[in-house]
A and B are shown apart, each in its own frame.
Chain A
Amino acid sequence: MSENLNQPLVEVKNLKEYFNINVGMFKSKPLKAVDDVSFAIKKGETLGLVGESGCGKTTVGRTLLHLYKPTGGEIVYNGKAIKTKEDINEFRKKATMVFQDPYSSLNPRMTVSDIIGEPLDVHRMYSGRAARQERILELMDQVGLNSEHASRYAHEFSGGQRQRIGIARALALKPDFIVCDEPVSALDVSIQAQVINMFDELQEKMGLTYLFIAHDILVVRHISDRIAVMYLGKMVELAGAAEIYERPLHPYTRSLMSAVPQPDPKIARANKRIVLSGDIPSPLNAPSGCPFRTRCPHAAEVCAQSMPELKEAAPGHFVACHRVNEIG
């Protein structure tokens, strides 16, 4: 914040993450989970990341925090590239994560106060026992947990409360940036709204920046300033939340937006869905050129030859499609 206001907080440049998959006794093949993805997130902004299972959205979130070592590309935080072990260690004090499954992401053998306090222990961020405990209770209060429950275990809580514990843990180090990986998809509708509101309030209060990964478009549309869409490891479109929802340009985004089940009978029944044929191909045998061409109703020869670049089609609206101008 101090230097340039326009400088993004987090920048991801040409990020690549390949996993080696054994395809025979002695052969392995790279699975390109994330392939050449670039984006930037401004301070205080929420970037939504959507896509179907297997598109690499979770891997982007994890590689971003160096939970996986990137195969290529770089992550720039506050203008500084994260490279050495020390960088990563410092970075992780400022950037944390909330996980999808509030059941498996909390250690069943630890009390709530130890779960929330673990990041403090790891980074030695307290002066004494009393200060540690005080910070833990403060965190519990911030996420709406009753401080009397500090000595309980995770299994004594409902799904929504567990997710609050996970959020308190993510907040423990006073981060600037949180990767939220499907934080509400395991929750019931009525609880989901509570947790979404809490993310909103925490952002307002602490000026947090979010990368919000989810497959529920309506949730992402609600919480995000901008939305990025991924397909098979590639980013295919990136634009303002309202813009991409109302005027999607990429054929995949169009079908994705039209497939969103609208909770309103009149709209839902009048809605013309663009139903895609077939399934998402295996990332091990990704099609040449544009990854979406095998399911795209507008695919032409050029689509098989090269991967289209992510280009600015309208101000602030980026799309990776060869035929974007032709399909209107």
Chain B
Amino acid sequence: MPEHMPLLKVRDLQTSFFTPAGEVKAVNGVSFNLERGKVLGIVGESGSGKSVTAYSIMQILASTGKIVGGSIKLDGQELVGAGEKVMKTVRGNKISIIFQDPMTSLNPTYTIGRQLMEAILLHTNRDRKQAWDRAVEMLRLVNVNEPEKRMKQYPFEFSGGMRQRVMIAMALACEPDILIADEPTTALDVTIQAQILELMKSLQEELGMAIIMITHDLGVVAQLCDEVIVMYAGSICEQGTAEEIFYNPRHEYTKGLMRSIPTAGTAGTKLHPITGTPIDLLNMPQGCPFAPRCDNAMKICLRERCPRMEINEDHMASCWMNVKSGIEDGSILPEEEKGGEAK
């Protein structure tokens, strides 16, 4: 290994669910690096595999789900196949996760304090008194008023935004290196969402952890993320810095997404939606999974999946259109294998 080692290195991750209807390849060959102190956004529609990617890293898949291939290395340590014992030292300690719905991720029968202390007692050498103090400190960190009083309350006494703060406090109690946030603000109102995002950003800068932000909201990505992965049907179609993805999208799906969101400038005009419906993972086409919905699909798109291609050092995309435009402007020499013929 050269001296540089990313904090988290995922290579060719494949996760499948074995259902009565057959094998569903929810994640199919996902690779990325996460550097210390960076915010990585994973965007995609429902069923694109963004959450399953996160659950695979944590190894908290439903019983029908299984990682069938690939590697996940945390600080050089392989997690795939490492076993429950190792994972127990990782979960909540080195990697924490917060879920979309703060309503259902807290236990309604335990006090907030007890739930906060659980992770601290499990992963650190603190005694109960110290764990209590640490929990209070964490609540104060996430701007919960009167933390001592709040420690003795139950989840139903908290509002949605407050519950999400508690979830963040719980996730950060052991100072993880990576925080995975799975749609953390989807269930919240915009003004509360702004509070939570602001809080996550400031905590991330303060504590220097890395965040994997899973969301379908491109606005959240634009605000928070350094790098962005766009997923479609279980694989990455485009990956790059936020600026590259937003201002120079090079995959037809990403372009379609950008065109289909309403902004202040689109009032009074027609939106440009992506046609068709999301793909059925049980019936994956042979070529590019997006080809059936793509307006510019070429023959090769239906036949063969485009490999990851480097657009520039900050940007990768898997779209034959880049080959086509490359041939047209002369930067790629036409080869009969690669050349896409227009339909």
Chain A residues within 8 Å of B, Cβ to Cβ: 52-53, 158, 160-161, 188-194, 196-197, 200, 215, 217-219, 221-223, 241-242, 245-246, 255-256, 258-265, 267-269, 271, 273, 275-276, 279-280
Contact with A along B241-264 (1 / 0, CB 8 A): 011001100000000111011111
B263 touches A273 (CB 8 A): no
Residue of B nearest to A224 (CB): B267
**Which B14-66 residues have C-beta < 8 A from chain A?**
45-46
Which candidate, B89-97, B124-132, B219-227, B307-315, is the interface stretch facing chain A? B219-227
Residues of B within 8 A of A189 (CB): 45, 216, 218, 257, 260-261
- Asked if residues A275 and B217 are in contact (CB atoms below 8 Å), the reply is no
Across the interface, do A256 and B262 meet the contact criterion of CB distance under 8 Å?
no
Of residues 206 to 248 in B, which have CB atoms within 8 Å of A's CB atoms?
216-223, 242-243, 246-247
Question: In terms of DSSP, what is the predominant structure of the interface of chain B?
Answer: helix
Which of B103-111, B170-178, B190-198, B322-330 is the interface stretch?
B190-198
B167 located at the interface, meaning its Cβ lies under 8 Å from any Cβ of chain A in the complex: no
Q: Is B282 part of the contact surface with A, judged by Cβ < 8 Å? A: no
Q: How far is the CB of B182 from chain A (nearest CB, A)?
A: 16
Q: Is the CB of A255 within 8 A of B191?
A: yes
Residues of B participating in the A interface, judged by any CB pair closer than 8 Å: 45-46, 159, 161-162, 189-195, 197-198, 216-223, 242-243, 246-247, 256-258, 260-264, 266-267, 270-275, 277-278
Q: Report chain B residues within 8 Å CB of A193.
A: 260-262, 271-274
State in angstroms the CA–CA spacing of A52 and B272 once bound together.
Answer: 28
Additional A-B contact list (8), CB under 8 Å, known A52-B189, A193-B262: A188-B45, A191-B278, A193-B261, A196-B262, A215-B190, A259-B194, A260-B219, A276-B191
What 4 A-B pairs have minimum CB-CB distances, sorted nearest first?
A261-B219, A193-B273, A222-B262, A193-B260
Once the chains bind, are A268 and B191 in contact (CB under 8 Å)? Answer: no
Q: Do A161 and B277 touch across chains, with their CB atoms under 8 A apart?
A: yes
Evaluate contact between A191 and B222: CB separation under 8 angstroms. Answer: no
Query: Do A215 and B195 touch across chains, with their CB atoms under 8 A apart?
Result: no
Chain A positions within 8 Å of B218 at CB level: 189, 263
A-B contact pairs, 10 of them (CB 8 A): A188-B45, A189-B216, A190-B274, A192-B260, A192-B273, A194-B273, A197-B270, A222-B263, A263-B261, A275-B198
Chain B neighbourhood of A246, CB < 8 A: 264
> When the two chains form the complex, which single residue of A197, A219, A269, A276 contacts B273, counting CB atoms closer than 8 Å?
A197
Q: Which residues of B contact A52 (CB under 8 A)?
A: 189-192
B190 adjacent to A222 (CB under 8 Å): no
Say which residue of B223, B258, B264 sits within 8 Å of A261 (CB atoms).
B223
Given A259-B191, A261-B217, A222–B260 Cβ distance below 8 Å? no
Chain A residues near B256 (CB, 8 Å)? Answer: 190
A260 to B220, CA, bound (A): 9
A residues near B219, Cβ cutoff 8 Å: 218, 260-263, 268
Separation of A267 and B263 alpha carbons in the complex (Å):
12
Whether the Cβ atoms of B216 and A188 lie closer than 8 Å is: yes
